[in-house]
Amino acid sequence: MAAVASESNPMDLGYLPLIGVAALITYGTRVAGLGLGDRQLPPAIGRFLSYVPIAAFAALAVPGFGGTDEELFPRLAAAGAATVVVMLTRRLWACLIVGMTVFWLTKSVT
């Protein structure tokens, strides 16, 4: 395969050792919590963990709708439409289709 001029040799392996260590570190973070199994944690920790999904999902969602560029309004419109769809249907795919459609339509007219 002819490499694109700005791209490196597709078979270079120089970063592989570093990638291997990065993979081990990442795996460590994944297995550290899950690997505890069914061991009992103190009640306060249990309460803390029960709020983790809500806090994490808010952190994963909200910044994607913010910003100050010209796409702010289309993104907020998509979020509003998606909220209505989720409350009505609870369907992830319906939320995505409606949200993206509203985003593209709003973006095309603004």
Partner 1 sequence: MTTGQTHRQEIRRGFAAMLPLWLGVVPFALAFAILARTSGLSAVETVALSALVFAGSAQIAFVNLANEGAGGAAILLTVLLLNLRHVLYGLSVNPYLPARTRPPRPILAATMTDESYGLTMRAFRSGRGSDGFFFGASLSLFIGYLAATLAGALLGSRLPDPDCLGLELVFPLSFLALLLPMLRSRLELSVALVSGAIALVMSRSFDGGVVILTTTIGGAAVGTVLGSRGQRI
* Interactions with partner 1, residue window 59-98 (CB under 8 A): 59-66, 71, 74-75, 78-79, 82-83, 86-87, 90, 92-93, 95-96
3-state secondary structure the chain: CCCCCCCCCCCCCCCHHHHHHHHHHHHHHHHHHHCCCCCCCCHHHHHHHHCHHHHHHHHHHHHHHCCCCCCHHHHHHHHHHHHHHHHHHCCHHHHHHHHHHHHHHHHHHC
CA within 13 Å, CB half, 93 = 0
* Count of chain residues binding partner 1 (CB under 8 A): 75
- Kindly state the smallest distance separating residue 109's Cβ from partner 1, in Å: 14
Task: Kindly state whether residue 103 participates in binding partner 1, applying the rule CB under 8 A.
Answer: yes
Q: Show the binding pattern over residues 21-50: x = contacts partner 1 (CB under 8 A), - = does not.
A: xxx-xxx-xxxxxxxxxx--x--xxxxxxx
13 or 109, CB closer to partner 1? 13
Applying CB under 8 A, among 42, 51, 69, 109 the residue interacting with partner 1 is 51
For the bound state, the minimum distance from the C-beta of residue 42 to partner 1, rounded and expressed in Å, comes to 11
